[in-house]
Structure 1
Amino acid sequence: MNAPSASPRIPTGPRGLPLIGVIRDVRKDSLGFLMRTATEHGPVSGYRLGPGRSYLVSHPDGLKHVLQDNVQNYTKDHVSYSLLRRVVGDGLVTSQGETWLKQRRLAQPAFHRARISAMAAQMVRAAAELSEQWTDAQRSGEPRRAARDMLGLTLRIVGEALLGTDVRAQTDAVSAAFNVISEQTVERFRDLRVLPPILPTAYDRAFRQANQSLREVVATLVAQRRRHLEDRGDLLSMFMLAQDEETGERMDDAHVQDEVLTMLLAGHETTATALTWTWALLEQNPDAERAFHAELDSVLGGRLPTAEDVPRLVYTRRVLDETMRLYPPVYILSRKVVSDDTICGYRVLGGSMLDVSPYVTHRLPEFWPDPERFDPDRFSPERSATRPRYAYFPFLGGPRQCIGNNFALMEGVLILATLGQRHRPRMVSGYTPKPEPLITLRPSEELPVVITSR
């Protein structure tokens, strides 16, 4: 669909209003806006977001072009990343060019499959401890916030497995700070508030305090490791001991802190969000839940899972995949277009901005029949083989594909298996989960649940 065209078409899209473009529609219902735009205007649509021109690319062929084939033409010189850099600095998620390539090469060994498999026991042990808390809640009837539980669990796992550090004492501080930053980052982008948060207002002060809180946590972790620096085989060791090939210099603490903060936030928030949605979707789809429980009983027989069980928990993995189809934690990403280009026969102009949205593409009926239905068997080998590669991209693709995708998938399967053997979280009466499009696509109100027994 990206064949050269003698006369590329001009993308159409919602007209919006003078000066502000479609900002009002985005503020009102960003997910609905994205779906309507793709549905009504085709694989590449165009609109104005404030004074600037933006495009939405939704077709898998276009996504392959942007994320893989011509990736150098689509950079992270976008206001959304400028806002994110205020928090995580120039870490692996926000960096570009040679800086990013060096960071990626440095971090890659920590995510080799053999090393990830060795982390399985830590993941299961942490999930089993949460299971005991759920058992206590089941006896007392006390509701839990599933999102809060999943965030605490995945934060602990990232700290122990990747950073070699117990961060449980900092869980509340990290979660509270990230909530403020997540909400404000999205609000600032939608309101085109691109100036730094330096004003003496309560709003700007809350952002600065949250950012400082995160930085203090990370600075303490790095300082503690620096005092007892040794190669523990984890990601933090790799960053702290790495030396420049030419100069022999090591990363300074500020750079290490950027990387640690990036891994703490990106490494736990996305997986926790996917797991939280999974509990809601299993309750809403009893047939899928029964098949999930049947597999756990058949494969595990009541014991805790191990890394060797992950390939055997086929349906559990499909449940997780289908959850991330419907509610991809990273639901939209933006790029800057460097030079004029043609995508799916449509012209995009250099200097403009471009969006891709897993949330949208994962719901296109030409690739996902009855797209709103929860059906884990969409991910059987036979049905998956009929879809283009980029019809499903919760971890992006191309050279910037998420470095932790295999870590997150193993972690997700092991957590679901550990908790799902004993518990059935049930949403409290009267509650209906609604997606909240912040930095990630969280369910509303942190998914309040009552823990019941299988």
Structure 2
Amino acid sequence: MIPKKINLPSTQSPSTTRKTCPVIKGYPLIGVTSEFVFDLPQLLQRIVKEHPGELVALKIGPIHIYLTSHPDHVQYVLTTNEHNFGKGHTMWKGYRLIAANGLAISEGETWFRNRRLMQPFFTHKHISSLANCMITATLKAVERFEQVVSDSPIDMHKELQQIMQSTMLETIFGTSLERHKIEATADAIQVALRAIHLRSFLYFLPEQLPLPGERTLRHALQTIDDILLSIIRERRQSRENRDDLLSLLLQARDEETKTGMNDQQLRDECVTLFVAGHETTATALTWLWYLLDEHPEVDRKLRAEIDSVLGGRQPTFADLANLRYTRMVIQETLRLYPPGCVFPRVVRQNDEIDGYPVKAGATIILSPYMTHHLPDFWNQPDVFNPERFTAEQSEQRHSYAYFPFGAGSRHCIGNHFALMQAQLAVVIIAQKWRPRRIRSHTVKPQVKAFVLCPRNGLPMILEPV
């Protein structure tokens, strides 16, 4: 039964009167900088309760940034007037160090050309061709669990990161990539992301001001360049065609110019795919196992579906369409704990969002984490309920009330790829183990490098099924 029309699209017309933003001032001089950098989820929770659906100004040191959650505002920024809201050089500045021209960060003609080049390789046809590679890589990576299963707890988030790192690197570069290169690349990217996180949230500080870890960051970036550029050059020279993403990207040709990507562009796209494909998926799966342990009735239903569809055998790409409840569990996890919990945009020219004036140069932050918890659009928003994502209920929902992969022309190109990756990993792990969390450990979300993950990890014991 559909809840009382709470998920219907908004019928509210855009405001014709000027509105004034509430301002969250915080402490003198620093404003809410400390909470913004170190406890962003709590700040977002407070704002969604005190100012649901409003455009809110946050005082961050000497500047104001704007935070919005209403689906109508999300639609305006990401679709209706998207050309006036770019990535800019504020909170994304740090990420340009690791993948300056990657699809997630680039803009203008560079972004348009590379989106056009890459789009065909994320269609159903090519995703299905990568499924076998991903299944093989996931099965091999999950063998890690065989080595750590005992009566002692493991950090589920850390272990899933390791699994997704190996899976994603092999999906991008193939199974010939040596183990030491996999580990060195993954470690260097993690080091770079930790350093970049601090730079992203303190972007308003003068560039001349040195921040901790500068030498470590530069060394990590050099390691990434040395390994990935050598792999790309070797593959280009060999002209060997394999069932991996790098082979597909090497084949990509622009329809107009008939040119492909140069080595640096390939390097940036591979880093972007790796970061998006392993970090967000590992984090989503971490929250999923936490939620399943908290809701045994959902866990039983998911396992019953897996047993019914697969009967104990390994999954294939064709099975995913029949694992509907499993997919709904993943979608509901992404609603409650969207890994990408904030999407910064910069206003290019003076504008107005539903009556709220915003000036050119201002930073606007969209937050799926906030939008996904708005009571006007989600019935009992804090309750874990995968049934929200039946086809019937989804049709009743505001199109921009749920956007874990972004929206508009810049929605994540790999959203279907990520859902496939998550479904396969859930099935493969569920067929072997039932993760149980340590009840004495307090689970609290935090943001690292824009990703919503559990603070201090998630200790769990893996019970064999």
Q: How big is each residue's C-alpha offset from its partner over 1:33-67, in whole Å with a ceiling of 9 and x where there is no partner?
A: 12322332342112332333321110111101111
Shift of 1:429: 5.5
Shift of 1:363: 1.0
- 1:368 partner letter: W
Please give the root-mean-square deviation of Cα atoms over the aligned residues, in Å: 2.5
- 2:428 partner letter: T
State the partner residue of 2:112.
101
- SS across alignment from 1:394: coil
CA contact (8 A) 2:55 2:69 kept: yes
* 2:421 maps to 1:411: yes
State the partner residue of 1:161.
171
State the partner residue of 2:73.
62
The structure-2 alpha-carbon separation of the partners of 1:433 and 1:166, relative to structure 1 and needing over 3 Å to count, comes to farther
* 2:64 maps to 1:53: yes
* 2:25 maps to 1:10: no
Which runs of 5 or more residues in structure 2 are unaligned?
1-10
Structure with more of its chain in helix, by fraction: 1
State the partner residue of 2:154.
144
- 1:418 partner letter: I
- SS across alignment from 1:122: helix
Q: Which of 75, 87, 90 is 1:79 aligned to?
A: 90
Greater Cα offset, 282-291 or 431-440: 431-440
Q: Which of 266, 279, 287 is 1:277 aligned to?
A: 287
* 2:327 maps to 1:317: yes
Q: Which of 342, 355, 358 is 1:348 aligned to?
A: 358
- SS across alignment from 1:53: strand
The structure-2 alpha-carbon separation of the partners of 1:135 and 1:238, relative to structure 1 and needing over 3 Å to count, comes to closer
User: How far apart, CA to CA, are the structure 1 residues paired with 2:456 and 2:45?
Assistant: 24
The structure-2 alpha-carbon separation of the partners of 1:253 and 1:429, relative to structure 1 and needing over 3 Å to count, comes to same
- 1:380 partner letter: T
* 2:49 maps to 1:39: yes
- SS across alignment from 2:95: helix
User: How far apart, CA to CA, are the structure 2 residues paired with 1:24 and 1:426?
Assistant: 33
User: How far apart, CA to CA, are the structure 2 residues paired with 1:246 and 1:294?
Assistant: 50
State the partner residue of 2:222.
212
Shift of 1:7: 2.9
Greater Cα offset, 359-368 or 180-189: 180-189
- 2:433 partner letter: H
- SS across alignment from 2:120: helix
The structure-2 alpha-carbon separation of the partners of 1:79 and 1:428, relative to structure 1 and needing over 3 Å to count, comes to same
- SS across alignment from 1:389: coil
State the partner residue of 1:125.
136
State the partner residue of 2:191.
180
CA contact (8 A) 2:118 2:252 kept: no
The structure-2 alpha-carbon separation of the partners of 1:58 and 1:197, relative to structure 1 and needing over 3 Å to count, comes to same
Greater Cα offset, 190-199 or 255-264: 190-199
CA contact (8 A) 1:38 1:360 kept: yes
User: How far apart, CA to CA, are the structure 1 residues paired with 2:444 and 2:184?
Assistant: 25
User: How far apart, CA to CA, are the structure 1 residues paired with 2:354 and 2:212?
Assistant: 46
User: How far apart, CA to CA, are the structure 1 residues paired with 2:271 and 2:379?
Assistant: 39
- 2:44 partner letter: L
State the partner residue of 1:226.
236
- 2:43 partner letter: F
The structure-2 alpha-carbon separation of the partners of 1:248 and 1:408, relative to structure 1 and needing over 3 Å to count, comes to closer
- SS across alignment from 1:35: helix
Q: Which of 435, 448, 462 is 1:451 aligned to?
A: 462
The structure-2 alpha-carbon separation of the partners of 1:225 and 1:163, relative to structure 1 and needing over 3 Å to count, comes to same
- SS across alignment from 1:419: helix
User: How far apart, CA to CA, are the structure 1 residues paired with 2:254 and 2:334?
Assistant: 38
CA contact (8 A) 1:78 1:353 kept: no
Where do residues 362-377 of structure 1 align in structure 2 (5 Å cutoff)? 362-377=372-387
The structure-2 alpha-carbon separation of the partners of 1:353 and 1:217, relative to structure 1 and needing over 3 Å to count, comes to same
CA contact (8 A) 2:153 2:460 kept: yes
Give the length in aligned residue pairs. 452
Shift of 1:442: 1.8
| Amino-acid identity (%) | 38
Shift of 1:165: 5.3
User: How far apart, CA to CA, are the structure 1 residues paired with 2:129 and 2:348?
Assistant: 42
TM-score, with structure 1 as normaliser: 0.91
The structure-2 alpha-carbon separation of the partners of 1:142 and 1:229, relative to structure 1 and needing over 3 Å to count, comes to farther
Shift of 1:404: 0.3
Greater Cα offset, 381-390 or 149-158: 149-158
Shift of 1:398: 0.6
Greater Cα offset, 65-74 or 242-251: 242-251
The structure-2 alpha-carbon separation of the partners of 1:326 and 1:170, relative to structure 1 and needing over 3 Å to count, comes to farther
User: How far apart, CA to CA, are the structure 2 residues paired with 1:87 and 1:416?
Assistant: 30
User: How far apart, CA to CA, are the structure 2 residues paired with 1:258 and 1:185?
Assistant: 16
CA contact (8 A) 2:39 2:446 kept: no
User: How far apart, CA to CA, are the structure 1 residues paired with 2:431 and 2:446?
Assistant: 29
- SS across alignment from 2:396: coil
State the partner residue of 1:386.
396
- 1:96 partner letter: E
The structure-2 alpha-carbon separation of the partners of 1:391 and 1:334, relative to structure 1 and needing over 3 Å to count, comes to same
Greater Cα offset, 56-65 or 245-254: 245-254
- SS across alignment from 1:81: coil
State the partner residue of 1:265.
275
The structure-2 alpha-carbon separation of the partners of 1:450 and 1:65, relative to structure 1 and needing over 3 Å to count, comes to same
Shift of 1:288: 0.9
- 1:71 partner letter: E
- SS across alignment from 1:82: coil
* 2:308 maps to 1:298: yes
* 2:440 maps to 1:430: yes
CA contact (8 A) 1:4 1:342 kept: no
Greater Cα offset, 148-157 or 115-124: 148-157
* 2:266 maps to 1:256: yes
User: How far apart, CA to CA, are the structure 1 residues paired with 2:187 and 2:169?
Assistant: 17
Q: How big is each residue's C-alpha offset from its partner over 1:392-433, in whole Å with a ceiling of 9 and x where there is no partner?
A: 110011100000000010111111111101211222453233
User: How far apart, CA to CA, are the structure 2 residues paired with 1:121 and 1:382?
Assistant: 32
State the partner residue of 1:359.
369
User: How far apart, CA to CA, are the structure 2 residues paired with 1:344 and 1:193?
Assistant: 27
